[in-house]
A and B are shown apart, each in its own frame.
Chain A
Amino acid sequence: MNIHEYQAKELLKGFGVRIQEGIVASTPQAALEAARQLSAETGTKWFVVKAQIHAGGRGKGGGVKLAKNLDQVQELSKQILGMQLITPQTGPEGKKVHKVLIAQDVYYPGESPTKEFYMSILLDRAKACPVIIASTEGGMDIEEVAHNTPEKIIKEWIDPSVGLQQFQARKLAFELGLEGEAFKEMVKFIFALYKAYNATDSSMFEINPVLKTSDNKILAVDAKVNLDDNALYRQKALAEMRDINEEDPLEVEASASGLNYVKLDGNVGCMVNGAGLAMATMDIIKISGGEPANFLDVGGGANAQTVEAGFRIILKDPNVKAILINIFGGIVRCDRVANGVVEAYKKIGQINIPIIVRLQGTNAEEGAKVINESGLKVVSAILLKDAAQRVKEAIGGK
């Protein structure tokens, strides 16, 4: 699960990580008040107005702006709130901005120049332990840095049984070229960050940039936090940070019905039991000349209720021109699934697009018979190859 920048910063602050202070607002008026309050609390004269959406690259899309006075705070908030923000990560349709974070200016001049760093903590899957990744190239796209200048990427792996050690934090801070007060601050920052990561069951923290201010403080200017969905049951306060405005409405509806659904942009919908087979079915659709409209795993059950819920969700997508149902009946029998499909179809009434039902496994022949004798406009298939051919025909290929 992803959370917003303002939520992530609050979370980090709770663990002693120094952050760029800010107050979230959903109207230009509230933004103005937030700026006044922030000015009183931190003494900041300038403000950064930051769109709160679950996507990176907000600055590139015009979602992060500097305001040099209170009038500008209100003006910029008016511009950003409600806008359809398009960033390299949102896709062409962008995301609607419901909230802005009014943040203090931390790039003020002082005794030494400011300096931006990159830092993330995430799971190294191969080593099955967390890894801290840091770089002197703050504020940049880290994948690009890794590609062009791999020597500028510093990694420190954490032994899960003992956690982060002092020497590791020192090593990172030295390698980032810090000394004196800033060095000490960075060591503290890294420790607090790791503590937060570990305590919140996170799967990824990305702080880009981490800033050394002109008076040698180290703080998080941005914060991206990804929580482990499997651990939300024991992270109730964090689970409440979920913002369904950020999710596709069809995906929200599907998850309420216990279906695992991801909306895609294609023209052939699919409904499958099992995640691997679902991905493979999407691939089959592509090979047959179509584009998958979704990922949908109905799980092990595949009964009339789940099939009906699946149908309803897929049919709400206006781009869908055909539906491929691909069920491998192992424990669940194909004739039962077929009856479920027929029942769900009848309940929904008229479905105006071709449906291909591919049932394989236990009682596959009986399942095909149920489909073929139903009198519905449904095509059956048993072999995966045949299903691919039927998809091709349905979308106008040969």
Chain B
Amino acid sequence: MAVLVNKHSRVIVQGFTGSEGSFHAGQMIEYGTKVVGGVTPGKGGSRHLDRPVFNTVADAVKHEGADVSIIFVPPAFAADAIMEAADAGIKVIITITEGIPIKDMMYAKEYLKAKGCRLVGPNCPGVITAEECKVGIMPGFIFKKGTIGLVSKSGTLTYEAVDQLTKAGLGQTTAIGIGGDPIIGTTTKEAVELLMNDPETEGIVMIGEIGGGMEAEAARWIKENGNKKPVVGFIAGQTAPPGRRMGHAGAIVGGADDTAAAKMKIMQENGIHVVASPALIGETMLRVLRG
């Protein structure tokens, strides 16, 4: 089962022939992802990585039945690429691109409302269903099939958590990198909800960071829904000073409610197993699952 992507997903790469797109498309193919082609406007009709290149996403959907797209298009053109994918009927749009202007994302998100598709990202590592389908830039080998789902705003910190889980003998269902921008397609709560409703997922790791209110929203939802599965949570940026942007565009403490301490408190109050140290994510999940 897992969520969002699986071995049947027919994936296209937007920005297929660029250096990032090429490299990661190659890695995804190696992982076993069904990459059915790519889109680079103006290069339609050619082949790349032994797969067809299309001028438009609509062509890729028509000829290859693509239903998932991963976007490596440069920031100035990325919002356009997202809207093109949505218009063509792609169901899951995963945007890796970092640095998209806020206003572009605002318009893109508005546009997507009526399209019935799901956007993940931007500025995210992508989505992976262990040993089935990798649609992202994460190192595939650290993932093992299992029962833990992950939701995270960050890339390498997710890999860290996955590595700890795998070493603790806990494999994963799906890891969802939701991204670190102020406007993102899938929120923490929505990603958690997907995993809560996934019968294969038995435990959830939720990794957030300073800025915004998404972790608090997710925490409240988890409690309202009866804490059906154990959730281990961590918030990065306990030592970040207010008003300073910590790398990610969205990682900035704006007030009293979006500090790491405030978020961790709300998460704890809502029955999430919050760890103060990122080194304890794996062992805490193991302990919690064993009860």
Chain A residues within CB distance 8 Å of chain B: 89, 123, 125-126, 128-130, 143, 160-161, 198, 201, 203, 228-231, 233-234, 260, 262, 264, 266, 272-280, 282-287, 291-292, 295, 297, 328-331, 360-362, 383-385, 388
Total number of B residues with any Cβ neighbor in A under 8 Å? 65
Docked pose: A383 CA to B279 CA in angstroms? 8
- B91-126: CB near A (< 8 Å → 1, else 0) gives 000000001111111110110000000000000000
Asked whether A275 lies within 8 Å of B251 as measured between CB atoms, the reply is yes
With both chains docked as a complex, state the minimum distance between the C-beta of B278 and any C-beta of chain A, in angstroms.
4
Q: Does B42 contact A (CB under 8 A)?
A: no
Q: Does B163 contact A (CB under 8 A)?
A: yes
- B64-103: CB near A (< 8 Å → 1, else 0) gives 0000000000011000000000000000000000011111
With both chains docked as a complex, state the minimum distance between the C-beta of A294 and any C-beta of chain B, in angstroms.
11
Q: Does B239 contact A (CB under 8 A)?
A: yes
Asked whether A128 lies within 8 Å of B110 as measured between CB atoms, the reply is yes
Stretch of B50-58, B147-155, B197-205, B266-274 lying at the A interface: B147-155
List residues of chain A with CB within 8 A of the CB of B105.
128
Query: With A123-B182, A125-B182 known to touch, is A231 a contact of B160 (CB < 8 Å)?
Result: no
Of residues 237 through 291 on chain B, the ones whose CB sits less than 8 Å from some CB of chain A are: 237-241, 243-251, 255-256, 260, 276-280
Stretch of B2-10, B33-41, B138-146, B219-227 lying at the A interface: B138-146
With both chains docked as a complex, state the minimum distance between the C-beta of B51 and any C-beta of chain A, in angstroms.
21
- Contacting B247 at CB < 8 Å: which of A123, A295, A331? A295
Nearest 8 Cβ contacts at the A-B interface = A276-B154, A275-B247, A274-B156, A330-B139, A276-B157, A231-B101, A279-B236, A384-B279
Query: With A89-B243, A229-B249, A361-B142 known to touch, is A277 a contact of B156 (CB < 8 Å)?
Result: yes
Docked pose: A324 CA to B256 CA in angstroms? 29
Docked pose: A266 CA to B240 CA in angstroms? 11
Docked pose: A231 CA to B105 CA in angstroms? 11
Instruction: Give 19 A-B contacts (CB < 8 Å), ordered by A residue.
Output: A128-B109, A160-B110, A230-B100, A234-B76, A260-B247, A264-B239, A274-B155, A274-B247, A277-B154, A279-B154, A279-B157, A279-B209, A280-B236, A284-B278, A284-B279, A286-B239, A362-B139, A384-B164, A384-B279
- Contacting A360 at CB < 8 Å: which of B99, B160, B217? B160
With both chains docked as a complex, state the minimum distance between the C-beta of A335 and any C-beta of chain B, in angstroms.
15
Docked pose: A275 CA to B249 CA in angstroms? 10
List residues of chain A with CB within 8 A of the CB of B260.
283
List residues of chain A with CB within 8 A of the CB of B192.
none
Asked whether B159 lies within 8 Å of A275 as measured between CB atoms, the reply is no
Q: Does B165 contact A (CB under 8 A)?
A: no
Asked whether A276 lies within 8 Å of B139 as measured between CB atoms, the reply is no
- B17-57: CB near A (< 8 Å → 1, else 0) gives 00000000001000000000000000000000000000000
List residues of chain A with CB within 8 A of the CB of B230.
none
Docked pose: A276 CA to B246 CA in angstroms? 8
Q: Does B171 contact A (CB under 8 A)?
A: no
Q: Does B16 contact A (CB under 8 A)?
A: no
List residues of chain A with CB within 8 A of the CB of B246.
262, 275, 278-279, 295
Asked whether B156 lies within 8 Å of A273 as measured between CB atoms, the reply is yes
Asked whether B156 lies within 8 Å of A330 as measured between CB atoms, the reply is yes
- Contacting B139 at CB < 8 Å: which of A262, A286, A297, A361? A361
Find the A residue at minimum CB distance from B152.
A276
Asked whether B106 lies within 8 Å of A160 as measured between CB atoms, the reply is yes
Docked pose: A278 CA to B248 CA in angstroms? 11
List residues of chain B with CB within 8 A of the CB of A228.
101-103
With both chains docked as a complex, state the minimum distance between the C-beta of A65 and any C-beta of chain B, in angstroms.
26
List residues of chain A with CB within 8 A of the CB of B107.
160-161
Find the A residue at minimum CB distance from B278.
A280
Docked pose: A245 CA to B127 CA in angstroms? 42
